[in-house]
A and B are shown apart, each in its own frame.
Chain A
Amino acid sequence: MLHLVNKSPFERNTLEACLKRATKGSSILLYEDAVYAALQGTTLAAAMAQAAKTHEIYVLTPDLTARGLDAASVLDGVRPVDYDGFVDLTADKGTVQSWL
């Protein structure tokens, strides 16, 4: 299963809501303002690194680039994907849930 999150974790709790329910081994894609959750050095970094051990966490690179960020600023264990990768994930991971 694939969970989609698109809101900044510093403004909204949708990522937290997702992490509370996403089962072990499920995938989570961070896009739009949710890409800030994937960064090193934030107050969330430790929790995200932990989450990356039990879930496949992806981040959409065009949304990083647009915000002056890149794959090098992303936590270890978080996997950058482009739009094609996003499409593949939605096709391969089965059920999709958007945490709006």
Chain B
Amino acid sequence: MSVESDNSAEPKVKRFMYVNRKAPHGTVYALEVLEMVLISAMFEQDVHLTFLDDGVFQIKKGQNPSVLEMKDFSKTYRALDGYGIEKVFVEKESMEERGLSQDDLIIPVEIIGREELGALMESMDVVLSA
């Protein structure tokens, strides 16, 4: 199934990027984007998920928002692989500014530099951000 198709036999697969820039529990953005990503996985597009600025806190290990009586959706990022979403990127500078390293993250990611991230964004058909 595809979102749209032109007249040729092959449906057009678009390059999508979801940009996460917000920390996870203070606002609803992180959870909303995550749900959008899980739904978009059904449409078999070329999905790229990026974490930069405070967005890198979304995938920090050891979160326990149950003490705030909130759902621990950090566990849900680990389901992304099963949903076929394998292109996950973290911006190196954002991670380092926040004193984090790859070992602090809950899922395996590809670490890329700021410039590379900009170029990757430029190569997308659609960018969605929060």
Interfacial residues, chain A to chain B (CB-CB below 8 A) = 1, 17, 20-23, 26, 95-100
Contact = CB atoms under 8 A, between A and B. Distances in A.
Given A21-B117, A23-B119, A23-B122, 6 more contacts: A17-B21, A17-B52, A20-B93, A95-B124, A95-B125, A100-B130
Contact of B122 (A17, A95, A100): A95
A1 B125 CA distance: 10
Interface string B114-130: 11011101101111011
A100 B20 CA distance: 10
18 contacts: A17-B21, A17-B52, A20-B114, A20-B118, A21-B117, A22-B118, A23-B115, A23-B119, A26-B122, A95-B121, A95-B127, A97-B19, A97-B127, A97-B129, A99-B21, A99-B129, A100-B21, A100-B130
Interface string B18-32: 010100000000000
Given A17-B21, A97-B129, A100-B129, A1 B53 contact: no
Interface of B: 19, 21, 52-53, 93, 114-115, 117-119, 121-122, 124-127, 129-130
B124 A23 contact: no
Contacts of B124: 95
A99 B19 CA distance: 9
Contacts of A20: 93, 114, 118
A100 B18 CA distance: 13
Nearest to B53: A17
B129 A21 contact: no
A97 B114 contact: no
Given A17-B21, A20-B114, A97 B121 contact: yes
Contacts of A1: 121-122
